Chains A and B, each alone.
Chain A
Amino acid sequence: MPPAASDQLGVAEIFRAFAKIGVTSFGGGLVAYLRDALVTDKKWMSEEEFLAALEIGQTLPGLNSVNVAIIAGRKLAGPWGAFAAASGLILPGVVLLLVLGLLYDRFRHDPDVAAALAGVAAAAVGLLLQVTLKIGAKQFLNLRDLCFVLGTFYLVAFQHVSLPVVLFLVAPIAIILCRPGKLKPKA
């Protein structure tokens, strides 16, 4: 059961708060938007609650931002709160994507549009590369981690090993190598 006090918070209000992020978060970085809205603006969560939600969201499958929205929405108003939060976050972007998709379908054979889209697609690759290098900085500098980074990359990109195989065969090895007691205590 959700906490009793939060039952007073309307589902519509939750949807509005998350939809505002869903509309304005051009360029990604949703977790920061969520923190600003939930902790600073609305004071619906404490900093600790937010970090706990983020930790769950990062550990479990699914997008971190959507998972945090589910946990925050649940805390505020139970299942409907979770639904309102996640759909508020997701739907505005989908509407815009649909418009972009319609335009793409209509104009993709236009040489000007095709040239511009090729540039956008190339830029998106650069963005993903930067994000990967940035969040992986620690892993690239640790020899054992680097072996797993490159091994996974090689298996998936060039041997076309499927994701379930990687997660059920390679991941357990990596996790066991990091088993409790094996890790250096955090500095």
Chain B
Amino acid sequence: MKDLIKILNVFCLLSLLAVGGGSAVLPQMEHETVSLQHWVTGEQFATIYSLGQMAPGPNMSMVALIGWQAAGGAGLIIALVAFYLPSSFLTYGCSYVWDIFKDNPWRNSLQRGMAPITIGLMLAGVHAVGKTACINPDRSLHFNTITCVTALAVTGILFAKRINPALLMLGGGAAGWFLLRGH
């Protein structure tokens, strides 16, 4: 029960702090769920995040799996509801009154000012997942080299070609299976 309330608190807060889309809350989510609450290990967090990128639908639905690891079925439902409901309520309410501040000049300032912060948070998100998925001190240099090359290859391919990222995730899995077995 205490765990469920904690899940509710953590994901409600993350919901309302999720500026500029979902990825900006990744570092905070990793800090809360791995370092503070120990619901998942860093490696599980990175894996769960990557499963979330493979599934269809909004890419942060992976919070369901963190809730599930923390407290079973009830944890799953509470994590999902807590992560999606508060921001949805806010949007629902604000969409009524939006016209009032639609032409307010501060709205442009808000967007311009927040843009670099969102990008900085997303970079920190890359770091939060990458520090176990790519540069993992518990792994061999050989292992880390392969994971880093895989990640950078995906980045490069996506810049060069329009290709469905889900296919590249599968490609990464195939590369991992082929190159990382036994390491």
Given contacts A30-B58, A119-B177, A131-B23, contact A82 B92 (CB under 8 A): yes
Interface check A3, CB cutoff 8 A = no
Which chain A residues border B19 with CB–CB below 8 Å?
61, 167
Complex formed: what's the CA distance from A111 to B143 in Å?
14
Shortest beta-carbon distance from B9 to chain A in Å: 13
By DSSP majority rule, is chain B's interface helix, strand, loop, or mixed?
Answer: helix
Complex formed: what's the CA distance from A162 to B123 in Å?
15
Q: Is the CB–CB distance between B58 and A119 below 8 Å?
A: no
Interface check A89, CB cutoff 8 A = yes
Which chain B residues border A182 with CB–CB below 8 Å?
109
Given contacts A56-B95, A96-B55, A176-B113, contact A26 B164 (CB under 8 A): yes
- Partner of A122 from B62, B109, B148 at Cβ < 8 Å: B148
Q: Is the CB–CB distance between A122 and B150 below 8 Å?
A: yes
Given contacts A26-B166, A118-B147, contact A139 B116 (CB under 8 A): yes
Which A residue sits closest to B20, measured CB to CB?
A58
Complex formed: what's the CA distance from A89 to B116 in Å?
29
Interface check B39, CB cutoff 8 A = no
Q: Is the CB–CB distance between B174 and A116 below 8 Å?
A: yes
Q: Is the CB–CB distance between B169 and A150 below 8 Å?
A: no
Complex formed: what's the CA distance from A175 to B107 in Å?
10
Report the stretch among A5-13, A35-43, A67-75 that lies at the interface: A67-75
Which chain B residues border A131 with CB–CB below 8 Å?
23, 122
Count of interface residues, chain B, beta-carbon cutoff 8 Å: 106
Complex formed: what's the CA distance from A160 to B34 in Å?
13
Enumerate A142-162 residues with CB–CB distance to B below 8 Å.
Answer: 142, 145-153, 156-157, 160, 162
- The size bracket of the interface on A is 35 or more
Q: Is the CB–CB distance between A139 and B115 below 8 Å?
A: yes
Which chain B residues border A183 with CB–CB below 8 Å?
108-109, 112
Which chain B residues border A115 with CB–CB below 8 Å?
176-177, 179-183
Interface check B37, CB cutoff 8 A = no
Which A residue sits closest to B152, measured CB to CB?
A126
A-B contact pairs, 18 of them (CB 8 A): A25-B57, A56-B95, A63-B87, A71-B92, A82-B88, A90-B84, A93-B58, A97-B55, A118-B176, A129-B126, A130-B159, A136-B115, A152-B120, A153-B123, A166-B121, A167-B19, A175-B113, A176-B109
B interface residues with partner A (beta carbon < 8 Å): 13, 15-28, 31, 46-62, 64-65, 68, 76, 80, 84, 87-88, 90-92, 94-95, 98, 105-117, 119-130, 132-134, 143, 146-148, 150-155, 158-159, 164-177, 179-183
Supplied contacts A59-B107, A63-B18, A120-B51, 6 more A-B pairs, CB within 8 Å: A62-B90, A74-B92, A98-B64, A119-B172, A121-B129, A178-B108
